[in-house]
Protein backbone atom coordinates (compact mmCIF):
# COMPACT_ATOMS: atom_id res chain seq x y z
CA UNK A 1 0.00 0.00 0.00
CA UNK A 2 1.36 3.33 -1.05
CA UNK A 3 0.07 5.79 1.53
CA UNK A 4 0.32 8.73 -0.84
CA UNK A 5 -1.29 11.81 0.65
CA UNK A 6 -3.19 13.02 -2.36
CA UNK A 7 -5.76 15.16 -0.62
CA UNK A 8 -5.45 18.43 1.14
CA UNK A 9 -8.62 19.76 2.70
CA UNK A 10 -10.75 21.69 0.26
CA UNK A 11 -11.97 25.20 0.93
CA UNK A 12 -15.46 23.71 1.09
CA UNK A 13 -14.45 21.31 3.84
CA UNK A 14 -12.69 24.04 5.75
CA UNK A 15 -15.66 26.36 5.45
CA UNK A 16 -18.07 23.73 6.74
CA UNK A 17 -15.75 22.92 9.61
CA UNK A 18 -15.41 26.62 10.47
CA UNK A 19 -19.15 27.08 10.74
CA UNK A 20 -19.56 23.81 12.61
CA UNK A 21 -16.95 25.02 15.07
CA UNK A 22 -18.91 28.21 15.62
CA UNK A 23 -21.90 26.08 16.64
CA UNK A 24 -19.81 23.63 18.63
CA UNK A 25 -20.66 25.19 21.98
CA UNK A 26 -24.14 25.19 23.52
CA UNK A 27 -23.77 28.83 24.50
CA UNK A 28 -23.36 29.85 20.88
CA UNK A 29 -26.28 27.71 19.78
CA UNK A 30 -28.34 29.34 22.51
CA UNK A 31 -27.27 32.81 21.43
CA UNK A 32 -28.42 32.22 17.86
CA UNK A 33 -31.73 30.86 19.13
CA UNK A 34 -32.18 33.82 21.45
CA UNK A 35 -31.59 36.25 18.63
CA UNK A 36 -33.92 34.31 16.34
CA UNK A 37 -36.67 34.38 18.97
CA UNK A 38 -36.31 38.17 19.02
CA UNK A 39 -36.48 37.85 22.75
CA UNK A 40 -33.64 40.25 22.95
CA UNK A 41 -30.64 41.36 20.96
CA UNK A 42 -28.85 43.50 23.50
CA UNK A 43 -25.50 42.21 24.60
CA UNK A 44 -26.10 42.52 28.31
CA UNK A 45 -29.51 40.89 28.15
CA UNK A 46 -28.07 37.95 26.26
CA UNK A 47 -25.48 37.51 28.97
CA UNK A 48 -28.20 37.66 31.60
CA UNK A 49 -29.99 34.75 29.95
CA UNK A 50 -26.98 32.48 29.95
CA UNK A 51 -25.33 30.73 32.89
CA UNK A 52 -22.00 32.33 32.10
CA UNK A 53 -20.24 35.52 33.02
CA UNK A 54 -20.70 38.59 30.87
CA UNK A 55 -17.06 38.36 29.82
CA UNK A 56 -17.45 34.83 28.53
CA UNK A 57 -20.66 35.64 26.68
CA UNK A 58 -18.96 38.60 25.08
CA UNK A 59 -16.22 36.25 23.92
CA UNK A 60 -18.77 33.89 22.36
CA UNK A 61 -20.45 36.84 20.67
CA UNK A 62 -17.11 37.91 19.19
CA UNK A 63 -16.61 34.43 17.79
CA UNK A 64 -19.96 34.49 16.03
CA UNK A 65 -19.24 38.01 14.84
CA UNK A 66 -15.84 37.02 13.47
CA UNK A 67 -17.61 34.64 11.07
CA UNK A 68 -20.19 37.34 10.29
CA UNK A 69 -22.98 35.09 11.53
CA UNK A 70 -24.11 38.00 13.68
CA UNK A 71 -23.54 41.71 13.39
CA UNK A 72 -23.34 44.28 16.14
CA UNK A 73 -24.92 47.69 15.94
CA UNK A 74 -24.11 50.29 18.52
CA UNK A 75 -27.20 52.09 19.74
CA UNK A 76 -26.11 54.71 22.22
CA UNK A 77 -25.03 52.91 25.31
CA UNK A 78 -26.09 49.43 24.30
CA UNK A 79 -25.04 47.13 21.48
CA UNK A 80 -27.63 45.21 19.53
CA UNK A 81 -26.57 41.97 17.85
CA UNK A 82 -28.53 40.84 14.83
CA UNK A 83 -28.46 37.56 12.94
CA UNK A 84 -27.04 37.67 9.44
CA UNK A 85 -30.03 35.92 7.89
CA UNK A 86 -28.57 35.77 4.41
CA UNK A 87 -25.39 34.10 5.55
CA UNK A 88 -27.34 31.70 7.74
CA UNK A 89 -29.42 30.70 4.74
CA UNK A 90 -26.27 30.07 2.72
CA UNK A 91 -24.82 28.03 5.54
CA UNK A 92 -28.06 26.11 5.83
CA UNK A 93 -27.70 25.20 2.18
CA UNK A 94 -24.12 24.02 2.70
CA UNK A 95 -25.08 21.80 5.60
CA UNK A 96 -28.07 20.43 3.76
CA UNK A 97 -25.93 19.54 0.76
CA UNK A 98 -23.38 17.90 2.99
CA UNK A 99 -25.95 15.79 4.82
CA UNK A 100 -27.88 14.87 1.69
CA UNK A 101 -24.72 13.67 0.01
CA UNK A 102 -23.73 11.80 3.13
CA UNK A 103 -27.05 10.01 3.37
CA UNK A 104 -27.79 9.49 -0.32
CA UNK A 105 -26.38 5.98 -0.69
CA UNK A 106 -26.17 2.89 1.38
CA UNK A 107 -22.59 3.02 2.56
CA UNK A 108 -19.79 0.51 2.13
CA UNK A 109 -20.32 -2.77 0.41
CA UNK A 110 -18.01 -4.49 -2.07
CA UNK A 111 -17.51 -1.28 -4.07
CA UNK A 112 -15.50 0.16 -1.25
CA UNK A 113 -13.58 -3.05 -0.80
CA UNK A 114 -15.20 -4.37 2.33
CA UNK A 115 -17.80 -6.92 3.26
CA UNK A 116 -20.20 -5.03 5.49
Measured from the CB of residue 9, what is the shortest distance to DNA in angstroms? Answer: 9
Which one, 62 or 93, has the nearer CB to DNA? 62
DSSP the chain: ----------HHHHHHHHHHHHTSSHHHHHHHHHHHTTS--BHHHHHHHSSS-HHHHHHHHHHHHHTTSEEEEEETTEEEEEE-HHHHHHHHHHHHHHHHHHHSS---SGGGT---
Binding to its own copies by residue 67, rule CB under 8 A? no
- Answer with the entry of its own copies, DNA, none that 43 interacts with (C-beta below 5 to 8 A by kind): DNA
Instruction: Work out whether 16 is an interface residue with DNA (CB under 7 A).
Output: no
Interface positions, 26-85, toward DNA (CB under 7 A): 27, 42-45, 47, 52-56, 58-63, 72, 74, 76-79
- Per CB under 8 A, does 30 bind its own copies? yes
Chain residues that interact with DNA, rule: CB under 7 A: 1, 21, 24-25, 27, 42-45, 47, 52-56, 58-63, 72, 74, 76-79
Amino acid sequence: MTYAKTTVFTEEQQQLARIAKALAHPARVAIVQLLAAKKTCISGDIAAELPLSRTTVSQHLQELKALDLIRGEIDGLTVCYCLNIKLLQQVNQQFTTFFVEATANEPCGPDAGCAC
